[in-house]
Amino acid sequence: MSRQELPDKQPDRIARMFDAIAPRYDLLNHTLSLGLDRRWRLRAIRTLDAAAPGVLLDVCSGTADMALLARRLGRAGRVVGVDFAAAMLARGLRKVVAAGEAAAVALVRGDAASLPVASASVDAVTMAFGIRNVERAEDACREVARALRPGGRLVILEFGVPKVPGISRLYLWYFKYLLPRIGRGVSGHDAAYSYLPASVSAFPSPEAFCSLLRRAGFPDASAVPLSLGIVYLYVGTRVGDTGDAGAEPAAR
């Protein structure tokens, strides 16, 4: 992809786009992935420590599916979900209240590039299908490293491009031609579901993204392909000193 074709990731534009599709976001997510998104989230949450559920920061939390799943599976004592799209969070909040989780899940409006939590204050971070939208991904990963306590785990889900011959062609046809048409028809938003394949094509390869994570403070970063590489699960452990003494627990 040439520089000209790189998708515009200005925060205001991305937040407006997600606000516009928020009413149909969950429906389209489950439909367009044929229900696989639930499995991908389940797999990601299961990599979190069940023995010592602490404070989980869910970055790009959207409609709070990761936050609620982490609570349901006993992987988080408390969750702080951060997202800059108010309409996505509003839908998430309704789900949190309906699930009786309002005391354990706080949803906060904020940017992944400047997280509203103290340094080394959270035990784990999840980010599902969010990092591809962030304008400066490496800065955001450094910001996540700041928020995590040493030894804390980062779990990221992001789309990839499957490399299996035959299947790849079929998938790319679906992803680039059929999915944007269905997305446009159901959400009524012209650009959001064309932006999806464009942003996935522009995202670094799994190898390159692992290198970025290593530079950002996760030296053991690894990538596991899910569903033949349609999605990658990235896992890393925060090492070292955060350089910020006197950390407070969670939201600041």
Ligand X SMILES: C[S@@+](CC[C@H](N)C(=O)[O-])C[C@H]1O[C@@H](n2cnc3c(N)ncnc32)[C@H](O)[C@@H]1O
The number of residues that bind ligand X (CB under 6 A) is 22
Report, in Å, the least distance between residue 163 CB and ligand X.
23
Of 121, 138, 120, 146, give the one whose Cα is nearest residue 204.
138
Q: What angle (nearest 5°) sits at the alpha carbon of residue 218, between those of residues 244 and 130?
A: 95
Q: Which is nearer to ligand X, 60 or 76 (CB)?
A: 60
- Is residue 158 close enough to count as binding ligand X by CB under 6 A? no
Report, in Å, the least distance between residue 77 CB and ligand X.
20
- Is residue 111 close enough to count as binding ligand X by CB under 6 A? yes
- Location of structure tokens 């559920």: 53
Token code pair at residue 100:
């009786």
> Do the Cβ atoms of 214 and 240 come closer than 8 Å?
no
Considering only residues 7, 15, 96, 175, which one is a binding residue for ligand X as defined by CB under 6 A?
15
Q: Phi and psi for 62 in degrees, rounded to 5?
A: 55, -120
Considering only residues 7, 53, 62, 197, which one is a binding residue for ligand X as defined by CB under 6 A?
62
Considering only residues 55, 79, 88, 230, which one is a binding residue for ligand X as defined by CB under 6 A?
88
Token code pair at residue 214:
């290593």
- Is residue 199 close enough to count as binding ligand X by CB under 6 A? no
Candidate ranges 130-138, 205-213, 220-228, 230-238; the one touching ligand X (CB under 6 A): 130-138
Alpha helices in 80-136 (DSSP H): 86-98
- Is residue 18 close enough to count as binding ligand X by CB under 6 A? yes
Q: Which is nearer to ligand X, 128 or 210 (CB)?
A: 128
Token code pair at residue 41:
């989230």
Token code pair at residue 92:
């998430």
Report, in Å, the least distance between residue 245 CB and ligand X.
27
Considering only residues 48, 69, 78, 83, which one is a binding residue for ligand X as defined by CB under 6 A?
83
Of 99, 90, 34, 102, give the one whose Cα is nearest residue 69.
99
Q: Phi and psi for 108 in degrees, rounded to 5?
A: -125, 135
Q: Which residues bind ligand X (CB under 6 A)?
A: 11, 14-15, 18, 29, 60-62, 65-66, 83-85, 88, 111-113, 128-130, 133-134
